[in-house]
Amino acid sequence: MGLIKIRKVLEKDKTALMDICESSFPTDDIKEIIDSLITLRHFYVAEELTSGKLLGFIVYSANSSKDISHILTLAVQPNSQREGIGTALINHMLRRLESTTVKKIRLEVRESNTAAIQFYQKLGFNIVGKINDYYAKGSDAFLMIKEII
């Protein structure tokens, strides 16, 4: 992997985003998900500078009247995982939140996704609860929180 830049999502990114989603999430509704997420204000992609290839993305909410931000989605191309892309995306989010009143970040992660759970724990997220049937019947999620100062 070469150098990356993190930038706002563009309409032209849809096809690459669908590819990342198809390799990351077990769902048939990829196009609808991308169409609904792409309009959100806090949607950033990690782009390899030399090739222009999208390696991952993060979507989060940041309400200025609340002290909590919510990571809605974080995904990295499987062949680019464990190369710092996910960490770079979360660090970008943290930098953008520095000038806000946000004190906590929350996310949900599939209970069976041990790699993602370990990744988030390495970044300071803690499991604070479990949500039964979050993804589908019998597919539970852990609620994870990170306190930021």
Give the model confidence (pLDDT) of 92-136 as tens digits: 999 999 888 899 999 999 999 999 999 999 999 999 999 998 887
Q: What is the mean pLDDT of residues 24-32?
A: 66
pLDDT of residue 36: 67
Alpha carbons 37 and 127: distance in angstroms, whole number: 25
The structure's pTM equals 0.87
Report CA 120 to chain centroid distance, whole Å.
11
Q: Is the pLDDT of residue 65 over 80?
A: no
How is residue 105 written in tokens?
């970040």
Alpha carbons 54 and 37: distance in angstroms, whole number: 16
The closest of 106, 119, 103 to 72, measured between CA atoms, is: 106
6-16 pLDDT, tens digit per residue, is: 999 988 988 88
Q: Are the C-beta atoms of residues 52 and 32 closer than 8 Å to each other?
A: no
Element (H, E) at 89: helix 85-97
With b for 16 or more beta-carbon neighbours within 10 A and e for fewer, the 123-132 pattern comes to: eebeeeeeee
Domain ranges of the chain: 1-99, 103-149
With b for 16 or more beta-carbon neighbours within 10 A and e for fewer, the 22-57 pattern comes to: eebeeeeebeebbeebbeeebbbbbbbeeeebbbbb
What CATH number should be reported for the domain whose range is 1-99?
3.40.630.30
